[in-house]
A and B are shown apart, each in its own frame.
Chain A
Amino acid sequence: MSRFRRSIFAAVITSLMAVPGWAQTTILNVSYDPTRELYREFSAAFTQYWQQQTGETINVRMSHGGSGSQARAVIDGLDADVVSLALEADINAIVEATGKIPADWRSQLPNNSAPYTSTIVFLVRAGNPKNIQDWDDLVRDDVQVITPNPKTSGGARWNLLAAWAWAEKKFGGDEEQVRNYVSALYRNVPVLDTGARGSTTTFVQRGIGDVLLAWENEAFLALEELGPDRFEIVTPSISILAEPPVALVEGNAEAKGTTEIARAYLEYLYTETGQTIAAKHYYRPFKPELVDPAALERFVEIELVTIDSFGGWAEAQPRFFGDGGIFDQIYQPAN
């Protein structure tokens, strides 16, 4: 018995000691939910690139979660070298609370620090049984719409703004009618999940709803993972250009001596390899000329409005999503 116990003890101790990777230089990329597959491949490619360039073996660690809560974790001390989040506002929150990211971070990398963009599309069930073609179909009585809660989800805010942009054009800017339209849309939402992945699961796994308002990359991923025979993507006439930004957390990287690696990691996103990987994972690359045209065919041309037409996030966030803002005024939970 005692020998048995000793051998168990030894096994436990050995397994605890065998923690790999302590000696290597490690950088941490704190990101949001839908980028898991993208950054898994990109980080591996960068690790290889860095070894070829410098001979140094490094380790890139990932942390994923809702964009807002990830920003909160970095503010509370999660030791990120780089952040790659869904919204500019989330990175600005880190700037304001910690000062670890310089205030002019958007100008440090090309395209306002957005190496790839995405947009909002519709995911419908195979054969499009409800014949959903554009935003006006979403307010029909027989259609149920799945979208997350804009109070908690970055993606959901883009959804609402895209709907708003379409309605503004349709009704010639008559805000009363635009409000009525968006209000009618949210009356067709049976479940408001807290995040984009939660909504995808509701639509795909639980089979609730007729149309999912989704990130284009999430919609493609759902097709790839769960079978193109079960769903199809519908591209609306107008959508919004989402620019998920990246930034170097200088305060953390300097303390760890990883500034050079972290900066190179972000710059590598703009290279041919980085852009190709982004396109492969269904993000629209900022520099499409670097990417094999065949990989770009699936991105349908859409008329895209930008956040600037809402006065930027600094204005849109409080107006639409602040307490007592437009979303609070129009949304009445279905009883």
Chain B
Amino acid sequence: MTVENMLVPSAAGTAAPNRYEATSETRGVRIVLIAIAVLFLALFLLLPLAAVFMEAFRGGIQAYFAAITEPDALAAIRLTLTVAAIAVPCNLIFGVAAAWAIAKFEFKGKSLLTTLIDLPFSVSPVISGLVYVLLFGAQGYFGPWLSAHGIQIAFAVPGIVLATIFVTFPFVARELIPLMQEQGTGDEEAALSLGANGWQTFLFVTLPNIKWALLYGVLLCNARAMGEFGAVAVISGKIRGLTNTMPLHVEILYNEYAFSAAFAVASLLALLALVTLAIKTFLEWRFADGIAAAGRSH
């Protein structure tokens, strides 16, 4: 029975209303509270989102498409998708591995590992970018060796990918660890005692149990990977058409007084985020039974 169902008798004014009331506030107070919440939502989430799209289309549809099909914009879109296409799978693998190790095994230094996973969350993205410049820049620890071998990492795509992986590392692992800890090791022990090997256990027992949390982690990771600004700004070198990602391109256009073009590219980023949310919602709706089952069985 949902909360709304419980409220029906009281709203209809039938017998013993107060026994079913979830709260004792009067109708006026409730309306005010709800209005504040809706207003807050509209002001801080919907209004900015609407403003982005309104600004983007201020110059008309043609100007919008001109802005997003211009070569530098296309290069930025392509780079952003490339970086996400590399960073997200990496973090999928490392995130699952880290969560699996932390949730299912006991070992020395486990709490240290947990802390390390959280590190990218607590460090400012600018520092994350600077660290890679310090490591791989020409004056950095590996700089001389890299340039002697003709390998460019800082101010090139590999540097951007590394910084993005660093910044988005916690998303998958953080999503999985609590769930896997809650699920415990019972299923895996049963599988092992029935003769499954480690790989089979992971593939047929662990993975199905965590797939929804995993998907959610991947979506969040992807959204952040495409939207990251600070770390990427430091290490990209901002070469137009080569190392500018979409967020950097938006800033450049804005600084060039190309406001509607800036918002056109920004609206694409917002659209990517909305698509991510839509996919998540769709999957939750489509596989609601599966999610409920996964939750119930533990």
A interface residue numbers (CB < 8 A to B) = 12, 15-16, 18-21, 28, 30, 33, 36-37, 61-65, 73, 75-79, 97-98, 197, 201, 221, 225-226
**Minimum CB–CB distance for A254 against chain B, Å:** 13
Inter-subunit contact A16/B255 (CB<8 Å): no
What are 22 pairs between A and B in contact, CB < 8 Å? Answer: A16-B85, A18-B78, A19-B78, A20-B71, A20-B75, A21-B241, A36-B255, A37-B256, A61-B239, A63-B238, A64-B252, A76-B137, A76-B143, A76-B155, A77-B137, A77-B139, A77-B152, A77-B155, A79-B152, A98-B138, A221-B257, A226-B257
**Minimum CB–CB distance for A62 against chain B, Å:** 5
Query: Among the listed A12, A18, A62, A78, which residue makes an inter-chain contact with B81, where contact means beta carbons less than 8 Å apart?
Result: A12
**Minimum CB–CB distance for B26 against chain A, Å:** 43
**Minimum CB–CB distance for B279 against chain A, Å:** 13
B154 within 8 A of A: yes
B180 within 8 A of A: no
Query: Among the listed A30, A76, A197, A225, which residue makes an inter-chain contact with B133, where contact means beta carbons less than 8 Å apart?
Result: A76
Given contacts A63-B239, A65-B238, A76-B154, whether A197 and B138 have CB atoms under 8 Å apart is no
Number of contacting residues on B, CB 8 A?
27
CA distance A154 to B166 in the complex (A): 33
Q: Which residues 230-259 of B sit at the A interface, judged by CB distance below 8 A?
A: 237-242, 252, 255-257
Query: Among the listed A37, A73, A197, A201, which residue makes an inter-chain contact with B237, where contact means beta carbons less than 8 Å apart?
Result: A73
- With a cutoff of 8 Å between Cβ atoms, the chain A residues found around residue B138 in the complex are 75-77, 98
B200 within 8 A of A: no
Inter-subunit contact A78/B155 (CB<8 Å): yes
CA distance A225 to B241 in the complex (A): 24
- With a cutoff of 8 Å between Cβ atoms, the chain B residues found around residue A62 in the complex are 239-240
**Minimum CB–CB distance for B295 against chain A, Å:** 26
Inter-subunit contact B139/A75 (CB<8 Å): yes
CA distance A226 to B75 in the complex (A): 28
Q: Which residues 25-63 of B sit at the A interface, judged by CB distance below 8 A?
A: none
B9 within 8 A of A: no
